[in-house]
Amino acid sequence: MSKIKSPLRYPGGKSRAIKQILPQIPVNIREYREPFFGGGSVFFAVKQLFGQQIKTYWINDLNYDL
């Protein structure tokens, strides 16, 4: 399966830190909350990795233009 990349480019994005972030997420997660969505790199990686296991996603960012 190919990796899903964020269609958004965002200064200070977390795309390079995905390999360090994903192992910190519990394997039995049912709800995911993203307080700093930015370009969405972490969200898209989590969505691809956990798929239907996560029932609820919350995404947020202070930047209203997103």
pLDDT given for residue 65 in this prediction? 72
pLDDT given for residue 26 in this prediction? 94
pLDDT by residue (tens digit) across 1-13? 566 666 666 666 7
pLDDT given for residue 5 in this prediction? 66
Among the listed residues 26, 41, 39, 36, the one whose alpha carbon sits nearest the alpha carbon of residue 58: 36
pLDDT given for residue 47 in this prediction? 93
pLDDT given for residue 60 in this prediction? 92
pLDDT by residue (tens digit) across 18-66? 999 999 999 999 999 999 888 889 999 999 999 899 999 999 988 777 6
